[in-house]
């Protein structure tokens, strides 16, 4: 009789928990757990009630565990690795790289600071090392060194940051609750067509490089064709360009195809021994901008086990000056439909583009996107992949290719003289 009464009381308490204020629901559930223990003599009943509580919670029956709570829990367990951020560019423009002039915990003029990175559950950030295309064939190497220097100083002087150079260091930094800094060169013009320069950048901690920005290099073509008044004879990748990709594979440096033309991207995908990424690009089917990636190229990316990290810039998202979170989620939905969630990441492009969707104005707002995707029936496993697992997989596979080539010496290939006269450049901040 006691057991039957206790069962009835437990059911009543479960119903009461359903309508309890969210702030009191954890206490209510604890009481329910204790009540369950009092009827432990009925093993089946104990098992049933406990699992029913879990089931109701997962189904939203316990209304205190909202979508927002699910997002916070998910991103606490799988904090974000973001593929592209131009904070260093803003430090150059606004402060001429003088870190003493700014407190990076709170920066109102930018979309990125430490406080908002933490609020957005950003655990690792690929910081862009960017110099203007106008520096090509001039002082691009020196300017690139200066931008590497400011990121290294920033990630050393602020204890919230930690400079990392491997997938294992990235994972270790999460255990220490640090924001991992990854160095990524944005534009092959930074190496001045020199493989020794590429190798020295690697020694300074660079672990990724985009082959172009908005300017052609002598060996690879940019997606910004309308800006390049001289059309290349070779629209994909020259012999030296292939040597750059091979050397990046040998070093263990991630090849980034954002900003490259589709022909160049296709050539790289069919030449690289390691997976590659689009660090901040979106779907061409959803928004037909040349910076985005068409479906046929997405299929090539999946075949090579690569990754596309979706960009948030309004003009790449909605093809208009304004956009919202729903527009961004449309890109995720489409890419998932084409190649699956295991090939998608996030590359917000904060502080590098001019405008961002409503609700995604700065780095603190990433949870809003994850909530939107949850509401579109993305599974937590899919989102864990998007948030960090996919990037870690690519990084680790790039490192495995490096391990296989450790005994191979650096390439001595030089740029052919005929290639030096077939490129033009344009200045752009995007």
Task: Choose, from 213, 289, 327, 331, the residue flagged as catalytic.
Answer: 213
DSSP per residue, 20-60: S-GGGHHHHHHHHHHHHHHTTTSHHHHHHHHHHHHHHHHTT
Q: Is 86 a catalytic residue?
A: yes
Rounded CA-CA distance 127/157 in Å is: 16
Task: Choose, from 113, 221, 349, 419, the residue flagged as catalytic.
Answer: 349
> Which residues, at least 6 apart from 228, have a Cβ–Cβ distance to it below 8 Å?
215, 216, 221, 222, 423, 424, 425, 426
Task: Choose, from 82, 162, 186, 330, the residue flagged as catalytic.
Answer: 186
Identify whether the C-beta of residue 279 lies closer than 8 Å to the C-beta of residue 251: no
Task: Choose, from 280, 289, 327, 331, the residue flagged as catalytic.
Answer: 280
Q: Is 84 a catalytic residue?
A: yes
Distances, alpha carbon 57 to alpha carbons 15, 77, 348, 382, in Å: 12, 18, 32, 20
Rounded CA-CA distance 84/257 in Å is: 12
Q: Is 213 a catalytic residue?
A: yes
Query: What are phi and psi for residue 119, nearest 5 degrees?
Result: -65, -30
Residue 387 is given by DSSP the state I
Rounded CA-CA distance 279/131 in Å is: 17
Stated as kind and residue range, the H or E segment containing 309 is: strand 307-310
Q: Is 186 a catalytic residue?
A: yes
Task: Choose, from 121, 189, 259, 327, the residue flagged as catalytic.
Answer: 259
Rounded CA-CA distance 218/221 in Å is: 8
Active-site positions read: 84, 86, 186, 213, 259, 280, 349
């Amino acid at each position: 009789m006691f057991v039957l009464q206790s069962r009835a009381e437990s059911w009543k308490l479960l119903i009461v928990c359903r309508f309890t204020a969210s702030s009191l629901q954890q206490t209510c559930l604890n009481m329910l757990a204790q009540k369950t223990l009092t009827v432990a003599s009925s093993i089946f009943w104990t098992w049933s009630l406990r699992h029913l509580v879990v089931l109701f919670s997962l189904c939203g029956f316990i209304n205190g565990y909202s979508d927002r709570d699910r997002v916070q829990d998910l991103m606490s367990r799988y904090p974000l690795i973001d593929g592209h951020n131009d904070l260093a560019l803003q430090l150059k423009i606004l402060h001429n790289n003088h870190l003493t002039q700014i407190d990076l915990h709170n920066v109102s003029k930018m979309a990125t600071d430490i406080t908002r990175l933490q609020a957005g559950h950003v655990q690792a950030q690929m910081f862009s090392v960017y110099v203007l295309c106008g520096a090509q064939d001039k002082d691009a190497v020196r300017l690139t060194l200066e931008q590497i220097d400011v990121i290294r100083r920033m990630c050393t002087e602020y204890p919230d940051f930690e400079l990392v150079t491997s997938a294992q260091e990235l994972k270790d930094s999460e255990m220490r609750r640090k924001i991992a800094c990854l160095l990524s060169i944005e534009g092959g013009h930074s190496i001045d067509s020199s493989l020794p320069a590429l190798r020295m950048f690697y020694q300074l901690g660079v672990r990724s490089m985009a082959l172009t920005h908005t300017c052609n290099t002598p060996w690879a073509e940019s997606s910004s064709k309308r800006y390049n008044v001289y059309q290349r004879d070779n629209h994909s990748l020259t012999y030296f360009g292939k040597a750059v990709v091979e050397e990046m594979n040998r070093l263990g440096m991630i090849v980034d195809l954002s900003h490259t033309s589709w022909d160049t991207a296709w050539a790289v995908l069919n030449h690289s021994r390691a997976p590659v990424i689009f660090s901040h690009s979106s779907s061409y089917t959803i928004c037909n901008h040349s910076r985005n990636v068409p479906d046929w190229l997405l299929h090539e990316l999946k075949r090579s086990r690569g990754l596309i990290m979706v960009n948030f810039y309004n003009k790449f998202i909605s093809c208009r000056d304004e956009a919202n979170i729903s527009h961004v989620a449309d890109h995720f939905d489409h890419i998932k439909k084409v190649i699956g969630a295991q090939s998608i990441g996030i590359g917000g492009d904060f502080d590098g583009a001019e405008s961002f969707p409503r609700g995604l104005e700065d780095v603190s707002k990433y949870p809003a996107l994850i909530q939107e995707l949850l509401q579109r029936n993305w599974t937590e496993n899919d989102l864990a992949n998007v948030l960090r697992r996919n990037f870690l997989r690519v990084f680790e596979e790039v490192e495995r290719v490096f391990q296989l080539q450790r005994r191979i010496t650096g390439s001595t290939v030089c740029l052919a003289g005929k290639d030096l006269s077939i490129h033009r450049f344009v200045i752009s901040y995007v």
